[in-house]
Chains A and B, each alone.
Chain A
Amino acid sequence: MAAGDRWKYLYKALSKSGPFSDPDWVPGEETIKSLEESKILVIGAGGLGCEILKNLALSGFKDIHVIDMDTIDISNLNRQFLFRHSDIGKPKAEVAAAFVEKRVKGVKITPFVGKIQDKDEDYYLQFKIVVCGLDSIEARRWINSTLVGMVDMDNPESLKPLIDGGTEGFKGQARVILPSLTSCIECQLDMHAPRPAVPLCTIATIPRQPQHCIEWAHQIAWQDKRKDDSFDSDDMEHIGWVYNTALERANEFNISGVTFQMTQGVVKNIIPAIASTNAVIAAATTSEALKIATSCNPFLENYMMYAGEEGVYTYTFEAEKKTDCPVCGSLARKITVNPDVTLEEFIEILGEQPEAQLKKPSLRTEETTLYQRFPPQLEEQTKSNLKLKLRDLVADGQEVAVSDPAYTIDFRFQLIFT
């Protein structure tokens, strides 16, 4: 296919208004150009990531970056279609980038093999939109708080829409987050039901299911017999040991059904990935990216859940922003202080601030506990800081987080030295 033809019909759609497009929207050249120039970041090149990369490339994005720390495993090949058998062991980000670049001419994909935490705000600032296809809550929370923290009123470019996709078996979700403006991942954290855990006592004393025996071998027997080896779920010898130990225990309790595969599933906490669920969710996230980048149609506000266990059910609703969200509830407020005042004096200043009026605050920076009122041992350890000058405790421009029992929300201040 000639490079120009691939997006012919997409460009047609972007060249005239539709019934849902914003009245202020200007279709045509400029919109197409802004799409082509939108630098977009895809986090994760796994089941969702492969789909997202392919979709973005086919949707007219031409400058795509992808970040993933993993290497390709044989078990990925059934659904992560950008990978081949000969790619096993190679980094996902690089192989996925090369494959899509080769297949969709005219698209540039820049891979980064590593953790999202390896990159700083300067890296994330270069993108227009961030799309996530992640499998961990921890990584989501990290990117969420990083993007919220980047929002700077003096720079419109600092607000990066975050589009998050997630799947688990037949279920999935897609959401659009405008950091600091709409409900963020931290606001929605209680919507994730934690994985149902089996009580430790059941595992330790009266196993009823093969999974209990595996958990016992993994959590109790390993610690007992192989305390000095740190358990690695990718090490076949380790899995084998857990499998054999679990099997012995299962025999002892007359429980059948412990298999090697089940052992892997339990210790790695695997929920079977369904290729079509990934396809549905990736499609939802990428069409949101297209709509945000071009403004051609209104974007999702702000959460779409998808349940495919029985037939197909989806529901879209607007998750609310939490006023007491520890991440987006309060952006750091700038406070100008003389670096020569002591911490004690600074606390008094905070008490006089009309919007804060903090009476008994505890304060910290990312690295240092500045002052913690309770428990007494910690108060004892930190009270010497009260007599120190701010310049000896914090850096100019550093963030200080303040909690006060009088308020249900916490405050963040960015200290600007005079």
Chain B
Amino acid sequence: MLKIWSMKQQQQQAENAEGAAGKKKKKVTAAQLRVQRDLQELTLGNTMKMEFPNPDDILNFTLTIDPDEGMYKGGSFNFTFAVNQNFPHDPPKVKCTQKIYHPNIDLEGNVCLNILREDWKPVLNLNAVIVGMQFLFLEPNASDPLNKDAAEDLRQNRDLFKRNVRTSMGGGNVRSIHFDKVLR
């Protein structure tokens, strides 16, 4: 045991650092530190906005995406992000708070994005996630559907799909399902 301590003293001397002492208060968690860094390194552009209901809690926030091109242009889409203390080992949990017509987002707001689930790796950061989210609105993907009807429409008849997107975004019904109005 004593040997271990002398190893520590040697290391400390080599670093010539002062070291920490005294009674400590709660430490900033690894997840908080990582999110603090990730937030700093975000590239939001002018199509994305974030809100922090409690600015002291950086692990829970909302993201609004206002696509400026593509079929979803003109809409404003809200997502909640919940990052747990196991981040970045666990991916953030992302949900859409509106009921929208999208092949990769179901009516409950679950999002099918590979890096949020099977392809998540701790080296990925929040920026990778929001870039992926933005991409979903530019290129909805019919081959990995979460909303089967929307995916079917996109595959069969792109024009019909486009019209359905417009109708749903205006707060109308598609296949007798009512969607939330998301137009800006």
Contact = CB atoms under 8 A, between A and B. Distances in A.
Interface of A: 22, 24, 34, 121, 128, 137-138, 141, 145, 149-156, 159, 161, 178, 180-181, 186, 189-190, 192, 194, 196-201, 204-205, 220, 223-224, 292-293, 295, 326-327, 331-334, 362, 364-369, 372-378, 381-382, 395, 397-401, 403, 405, 410, 412, 414, 416
B34 interface: yes
B138 interface: no
> Of residues A150, A368, A374, which shows the largest number of chain B Cβ atoms within 10 Å of its Cβ?
A374
Contacts of B178: none
Per DSSP, chain B at the interface is: loop
B32 A366 contact: yes
B39 A199 contact: no
B121 to A, nearest CB: 8
29 contacts: A128-B1, A138-B85, A141-B85, A141-B89, A145-B30, A149-B24, A153-B21, A156-B8, A189-B122, A190-B122, A197-B118, A200-B110, A204-B106, A205-B146, A327-B30, A362-B40, A365-B26, A365-B28, A366-B29, A366-B32, A372-B36, A376-B44, A377-B49, A377-B51, A378-B55, A381-B55, A398-B25, A401-B28, A414-B20
Interface in B28-66: 28-30, 32-34, 36-37, 39-42, 44, 49-52, 55-58
B122 A331 contact: no
B27 A149 contact: yes
Interface residues of B, number: 62
A269 B142 CA distance: 30
B52 A399 contact: no
A293 B49 CA distance: 55
A137 B20 CA distance: 27
B145 interface: yes
A205 to B, nearest CB: 5
A178 B7 contact: yes
What 9 A-B pairs have minimum CB-CB distances, sorted nearest first? A153-B19, A401-B28, A381-B55, A366-B26, A156-B5, A201-B144, A398-B25, A326-B30, A332-B20
B68 interface: no
Given A295-B3, A366-B25, A374-B42, 19 more contacts: A141-B89, A152-B22, A153-B8, A156-B2, A181-B11, A201-B112, A205-B145, A292-B1, A295-B1, A332-B27, A334-B18, A334-B21, A364-B36, A367-B26, A368-B56, A377-B50, A397-B24, A399-B28, A401-B36
A397 B118 CA distance: 42
A377 B145 CA distance: 33
B108 A197 contact: no
A397 B21 CA distance: 9
Nearest to B49: A377
Contacts of A181: 4, 7-8, 11
Nearest to B91: A194
A367 B146 contact: no
B27 to A, nearest CB: 5
A355 B154 CA distance: 57
B112 A198 contact: no
B8 A180 contact: yes
A22 B57 CA distance: 50
B40 A194 contact: no
B20 A151 contact: yes
Given A224-B108, A403-B33, A378 B58 contact: yes
